Structure 1
Amino acid sequence: MRIRTRGYERRRRELELLIVADIVTIFAWVLGFYGLHPNGHIDFLNPWLTIVVLVPLGAHVANRHLAADADAILLPLATLLNGLGYVMIGVLDPTQAHLQALWTLISVFAYVVCIFFVRNPDSLDRYRYLLAILGIGLLFSPMLPGIGENIGGERLWVHLGSLSFQPVEVSKLLLAIFLTSLLVEKRDLLARLRGGGLRRFGPIALTFGLALAIMAVEKDVGFALLIFVTFVLVMWIGTGNRIYLLFGAVTFVLGLVVGGAVLPQVHQRISVWLDPWKHAATTGYQLIQAQYAFGIGGLSGTGLGLSHPTVPVATSDFIFAAFGQELGLLGTSAIIISFLLLIGAGLRVALRAHGEFSSLLAMTMTIILALQTFFILAGVIRVLPLTGMTLPFLAYGGSSLLTNYILLAILMRISHRSNQFNDLREGTTG
């Protein structure tokens, strides 16, 4: 009698969870459609909905053949968030929803390509300098004349013909791989409680300088904050030396003071955060409308498609406020729980990873996902100043969606290899 392998069981559970995620997406789409068109006829063969629902199943097929032992919960959670985001974008702006469906197709294709080519995550360590050069090049590519584009006061976009994207999203992954590789190589030096001199703080100083350059040149506070805080946390986790948290906190406060005094965008965001009503007609308008949206939604929300949220940029920066109005506290809590489960699964991959580089890389990728989620949610509910970042998987944005699916593929590949090793060590079949 043939014994079922753990990989087979993981993929079976993944398929079951994907079906549940697709059912939730379809149900939400039906509610949103009836909210907008009470007497309309539902077309369940809507091509855009079909893409969003069926394309993740293609990723599942790729997992069966290329990453059969990877954790079963990562892809379904991403699919659920992606599907709910598509539905809300469709309620607010059908044209953007069509584009989001196409970006879902492209992103899942990139996921499959990444799963196929990155067979051994440790191999990324060998290309760290190439990835660093490419990452920095992409990071500052919006400054190039002719292709760089300034939107909303931030020069983050590259425009090539009819295609626009934010190269900073891909850049953060490339720089994360470089910084992880550097930390693994210099770990003994960086972990010493004594000795090493100022060289121990060189990586943080380098990252701090890069963050200041991003704020000064591209006016992007969010990404500068993300890359700096990520690296400080990874250095602390990787070395176990708490001095990096202290040094990072002091450096962060210094950067905040300098940035607030020298850079108008930093001062403006802090000022709006402290008192949005003082800027109600200008920069504080979005934040005030977001608070109104949460108030209107209350506990259970007004219902998908029934309230037509008027929050500015509701499909991207403030999509969480739109969910707050239409799904209420219960709906937004479910979204937060989904993100927590996704982040928890990423941490589990990091803790179980076989190999120092893979473990720290999985931790870095998960921290990026967690911090980006936290910063945007905290900004919308006014716990922190707004950062202008995109909520992973949920918000409209092709660059963000593509990058997060690549991030997910790296986590899946690390999970596959670590589970294979652990299963063999425990004497399981397959």
Structure 2
Amino acid sequence: MSEASAAPVPMPAKRRGAQLVMLAAAVLIVMGAYANVGLAVEGKLPSGMLTYGLSLAVLMSVAYLVLAKFAPWADPLILPLVTLVNGLGLVMIYRLELAEMAGASSANQIMWTAVGVVMFAVTLIVIRDHRMLQRLTYTAGAVGLVLLAAPALLPGSISEVQGAKIWIRLGGFSIQPGEFAKLALVVFFAGYLVAKRDVLALAGRRLLFIDLPRARDLGPVLIVWVVSLGVLVFEKDLGTSLLLFGTFVAMLYIATQRTSWVLIGILLFCFGAFVAGQLFDHVGARFDAWLDPSNAIYYGNDPVCEPGGAVNSMCGKSYQVMQGLFGLGAGGILGTGLGQGHPDLIPLSFSDFIFDALGEEIGLTGLMALLMIYALIVERGLRTSIAARDPFSKLLAGGLSFILAWQVFIIVGGVTNLIPLTGLVTPFMSQGGSALLANWILIALLVRMSDAARRPPPQAIQNEGLTQVFQR
């Protein structure tokens, strides 16, 4: 069969229609929440509701059209689910803006959402075959390391915010390069592990019921462990450190199916966390706040500790966490209702603590529904990994899905005091541009791989009739 006679199988119209209906339903849910906030706070529908609704609908229509054109066989659930989460984040930031929460800006977040959708579209258009990324394995690794290390090498006046050196600020522009570094490093991990998985899967000595790897094969996990500790020490970024090391260990397990790598990763993490907690005050303070959250101190007339103001160490080690827990407690099972809580009393409720702020108003029931949406996005990504037809795609899809799930666990666990607070943000919801853009690119890569995994083989229409020849 010649290339000229082969053509991709078009996606059935019913599938496209179902995806469009789900996307419209997501936009309508968001608009209902937006109207609810306006009615609760101001007693009337928001004045910009029509503009807001049309903007969101146009953005998601563009994303849908690009997806239908360049990735027609992609999982139809991913885009509507992400639209719903992103839209609810916009609603909550608008809610905080009405509460005069310092730093909350719904207009800026809509702008960043628009840029994120553009990045989503550009990624799908430029990367027609994700397997080309395998040829850039070591280039991606080098780019990821440069992006990860750049803030630590720059002066604090350019890179430091609230003690953590994770930003690059030039004039009125700021970017968090670590958010993009994680994507580049996942590509590197996938390419490297595909090439080395046979060696890393070899068993050494057997201890009880576990086959330990050979000592000479411990190099990669030790190197990533040291790099993650370097991020923790020099940039004071516990979140990225945990995200980086956890993702590599998870992908190492996916590649080798060796439980021993997971156990080694857990042991290395516990040892590194213990040593860092003993040697570095900023790490020890996080653990102290986790173990004793009632250590919050409120200095009544100090403006830095006033609700809605900036928060520093004078407010107590656990002030932020305690305020978030109070908000969740006030929300209870069903919540106070959108627009009827006091999320402005939670510091950084538009970024790190947006999960707690939203939880006060939608309650435990609403938060469980939100976590189920995240779980569905991750499940669709893992389904893509299982269906992928080559090892690189399996590892890349699995790694991207895990990094999204791991990030949600880390931030939700931190703000609910399940684990120490790390400073990560809730994907697609928290205010800010870097994380939102990086996560939209992540979704574009998952969509691209989903399209490749679900697309039927090419068709050949023979001259004699309608006989179809499928090629693998």
Conserved in 2, the CA contact under 8 Å of 1:70 and 1:415? yes
Q: TM-score, normalised by structure 2?
A: 0.86
What does residue 277 of structure 1 align with?
Answer: 294
Q: Partner letter of residue 84 of structure 1?
A: L
Query: Separation in 2 of the partners of 1:390 and 1:428?
Result: 49
Matched, 1:134 2:168: no
Q: Which one of 21, 27, 50 corresponds to residue 16 of structure 1?
A: 21
Q: CA deviation at 1:147?
A: 7.3
Contact 1:141 1:148 in 2 (8 A): no
Query: Of residues 157, 167, 177 in structure 1, which corresponds to 2:177?
Result: 167
Q: Distance in 1 between matches of 2:339 and 2:58?
A: 24
Helix, strand or coil at the partner of 1:186: helix
Whose helix proportion is higher, 1 or 2?
1
Q: Which residue of 2 aligns with 1:334?
A: 369
Describe the superposition over 1:193-226 as per-residue Cα deviations: whole angstroms up to 9, x where unpaired. Answer: 1398433211111110110110111000000001
Q: Does 1:69 align with 2:73?
A: yes
Q: Give the aligned partner of residue 446 of structure 2.
A: 411
TM-score (structure 1 length as normaliser): 0.94
Instruction: Give yes or no for contact 1:260–1:267 (8 Å, CA) kept in 2.
Output: yes
Partner of 1:286: 320
Q: 1:357 to 1:326 in 2, by over 3 A?
A: same
Residue number in structure 2 paired with 1:28: 33
Residue number among 223, 230, 246 corresponding to 1:213 in the alignment: 230
CA contact (8 A) 2:148 2:181 kept: yes
Closer, same or farther: CA 429–293 of 1 in aligned 2, 3 Å: farther
SS in structure 1 of the partner of residue 273 of structure 2: helix
The one-letter code matched in structure 2 to 1:382 is N
Could you list the runs of 5+ residues in structure 2 that have no partner in the other structure? 1-8, 99-103, 206-212, 299-315, 460-467
Q: Does 2:435 correspond to 1:400?
A: yes
Corresponding residue of 2:215: 198
Distance 1:105-1:147 versus aligned 2 partners, 3 A rule: farther
Question: 2-side partners of 1:26 and 1:43: how far apart?
Answer: 11
Q: Could you tell me which amino acid in structure 1 is paired with residue 328 of structure 2?
A: F
Once the two structures are TM-superposed, the CA of residue 189 in structure 1 deviates from its matched residue by 0.2
**For residues 41 and 60 of structure 1, do their structure 2 counterparts lie closer, same or farther at Cα, with a shift above 3 Å needed?**
closer
Q: Residue 303 in 1 paired to residue 337 in 2?
A: yes
What's the CA shift for 1:149? 2.3
Instruction: State the match for 2:158 in structure 1.
Output: 148
Deviation at 1:43, TM superposition (A): 3.8
- Between the aligned partners of 1:49 and 1:147, the Cα distance in structure 2 is 39
Counterpart amino acid of residue 196 in structure 2: K
In structure 2, distance between residues paired with 1:428 and 1:396: 50
Higher mean alpha-carbon deviation, 13-22 vs 193-202, is at: 193-202
The answer to whether 1:359 aligns with 2:391 is no
| Secondary structure of 2:165's aligned partner | strand
Match of 1:115 in 2: 124
Deviations 1:67-122 (A, max 9, x none): 00000001111000000000000110265211110000000000001001111111
1:53 maps to a residue whose letter is A
Structure with higher Rg: it is: 2
Deviation at 1:404, TM superposition (A): 0.5
In the TM superposition, what is the alpha-carbon distance from 1:283 to its structure 2 partner?
Answer: 2.1
Q: Which residue of 1 aligns with 2:109?
A: 100
**Following the alignment from structure 1 to structure 2, what is the Cα–Cα distance between the partners of residues 40 and 347?**
40
**1: CA distance, partners of 2:45 / 2:68:** 39
Distance 1:231 1:190 in 2: 13
Provide the residue aligned with 2:306 in structure 1: none
2:282 equivalent to 1:265: yes
Instruction: Say if 2:357 is the partner of 1:348.
Output: no
> Structure 2: which amino acid aligns with 1:354?
R
Aligned twin of 2:209: none
Which one of the candidate residues 176, 182, 192 is aligned to 1:182?
192
The verdict on how the C-alpha distance between 1:21 and 1:277 changes in structure 2, with shifts beyond 3 A counting, is: same
Matched-pair contact (CA < 8 Å) for 1:25–1:53: no
Moved more, 228-237 or 415-424: 415-424
Task: Kindly provide the amino acid, as one letter, of the partner of residue 421 in structure 2.
Answer: L
SS of 1:164's partner is: strand
Deviations 1:299-328 (A, max 9, x none): 211111122311100011111111111111
Alpha-carbon separation, structure 2, partners of 1:8 and 1:265: 55
> Does 1:378 pair with 2:390?
no
1:429 offset after TM fit, Å? 9.5
Indicate conservation of the 8 Å contact 1:350/1:363, yes or no. yes
- Aligned CA distance change for structure 1 residues 359 and 428 (closer, same or farther; 3 Å): farther
Q: CA contact under 8 A between 2:37 and 2:339: conserved in structure 1?
A: yes
From 222, 242, 259, give the equivalent of 2:259.
Answer: 242
Contact 1:111 1:406 in 2 (8 A): yes
Paired residues of 1:234 and 1:363 also in contact (CA < 8 A): yes
CA contact (8 A) 1:280 1:288 kept: no
Q: How far, CA to CA, are the matches of 2:247 and 2:88 in structure 1?
A: 27
Q: Considering only aligned residues, what root-mean-square deviation do their CA atoms show, in Å?
A: 2.1
For the residue of structure 2 that corresponds to 1:69, the secondary structure is coil
Instruction: Please identify, of 296-305 and 112-121, the stretch whose mean Cα deviation from structure 2 is larger.
Output: 296-305
- The whole-number CA distance in structure 2 between the counterparts of 1:263 and 1:74 is 41
Aligned counterparts of 1:249 and 1:420: Cα–Cα separation in 2: 38
Deviation digits for residues 377-430 of structure 1, max 9, x if unmatched? Answer: 111111111111011111112111100000000000001011114697xx8999
1:37 matched residue in structure 2? 42
